């Protein structure tokens, strides 16, 4: 495809950055978001503001969705004003949200019935990488479909990995996120224990973040926990949703995912404590309160 027309659905922390990259790369872009005010910077930069997902998709060669969960994804794609009702035959649909495998497969079937092809292509990265075009995509679906739209991914992607048939991208993302969730909960436990025990946090914490237990995620989140800066990059409630989806997938395959279940309980308590809209690193505040 040469400069395909793109419809972008969902302009949250991630979607706004992704859509901005596509617009800056010169792709004709229509955008839709439930809160139209979030679309204003993109519209001022040249995007068309659509009145509904159907309106956004009606002339699109590629439709990209980036929303919170299965419920939001269904609302965008289905119904009289959903994108599937307006998308032309032959379009490629790219679902970048973190969703259940079952819904992704259902959506692929619905897309095929409309004469379209679907790629499930969730991402790793947060707000800043999205704005910088440094996301990593895990793509499920037909490799030939991916090749048709590889140029569309280019402005948004640091890496692009085809991981298997439809649903594979969704499953890889859920595995990625439950590994992250377990690490976040463990790091929060460590910070709370270091502080309660009276250790020199600034001296001791780098032993773990820079040593064998350390990871890119721990290095990223430890400063947020110590500074108590919970400006959302990836919200606690979204991570909690992902852990729940991962447990469902584990049950389907008779895998217990016991550490994921334990981490999920911690995050659920953090949401009940009012931390859900903050960055996932805010879970440490729940543990701090329990030790005060």
How far apart (Å, rounded) are the C-alpha atoms in residues 180 and 148?
A: 32
Q: How does DSSP classify residue 50?
A: P
Q: How far apart are the first and last CA of the chain?
A: 59
Cα angle: 151, vertex 133, 53; to 5 degrees: 70
Is 265 tagged catalytic?
no
How far apart (Å, rounded) are the C-alpha atoms in residues 217 and 198?
A: 25
| Integer CA distances (angstroms), 207 to 11, 15, 202, 203, in order | 39, 36, 10, 8
- Say if CB 259 and CB 220 are below 8 A apart: no
How far apart (Å, rounded) are the C-alpha atoms in residues 33 and 18?
A: 14
Q: Label residues 207-245 b or e (16+ Cβ within 10 Å = b).
A: ebbeeeeeeebbeebbebbbeeebebbbbbbbbbbbbbb
Q: Which of 58, 158, 173, 290 is catalytic?
A: 173
Q: Tokens 């800066």 correspond to what residue?
A: 229
Q: Catalytic site residues?
A: 173
């Amino acid at each position: 495809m040469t400069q395909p027309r793109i419809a972008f659905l969902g302009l949250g922390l991630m979607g706004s950055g992704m859509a901005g990259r596509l617009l800056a790369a010169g792709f004709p872009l229509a955008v839709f978001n439930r809160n139209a005010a979030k679309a204003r910077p993109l519209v001022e930069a040249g995007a068309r503001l659509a009145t509904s997902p159907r309106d956004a998709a009606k002339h699109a060669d590629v439709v990209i969705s980036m929303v919170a969960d299965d419920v939001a994804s269904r609302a965008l794609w289905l119904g009289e004003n959903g994108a599937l009702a307006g998308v032309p035959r032959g379009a490629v649909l790219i679902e970048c949200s973190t969703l259940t495998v079952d819904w992704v497969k259902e959506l692929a079937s619905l897309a095929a019935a409309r004469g379209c092809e679907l790629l499930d292509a969730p991402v790793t990265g947060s707000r800043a990488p999205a704005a910088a075009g440094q996301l990593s995509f895990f793509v499920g679906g037909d490799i030939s479909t991916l090749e048709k739209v590889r140029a569309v991914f280019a402005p948004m992607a640091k890496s692009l990995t085809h991981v298997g048939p439809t649903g594979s991208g969704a499953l890889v993302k859920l595995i990625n996120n439950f590994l992250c969730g377990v690490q976040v909960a463990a790091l929060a436990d460590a910070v709370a224990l270091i502080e309660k025990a009276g250790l020199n946090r600034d001296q001791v914490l780098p032993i773990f973040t820079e040593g064998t237990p350390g990871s890119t995620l721990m290095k990223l989140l430890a400063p947020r926990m110590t500074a108590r800066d919970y400006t959302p990059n990836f919200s606690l409630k979204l991570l909690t949703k992902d852990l729940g989806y991962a447990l469902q997938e584990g049950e389907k395959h008779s895998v217990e995912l016991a550490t994921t279940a334990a981490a999920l309980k911690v995050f659920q308590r953090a949401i009940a404590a009012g931390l859900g809209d903050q960055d996932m690193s805010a879970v440490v505040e729940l543990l701090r309160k329990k030790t005060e």
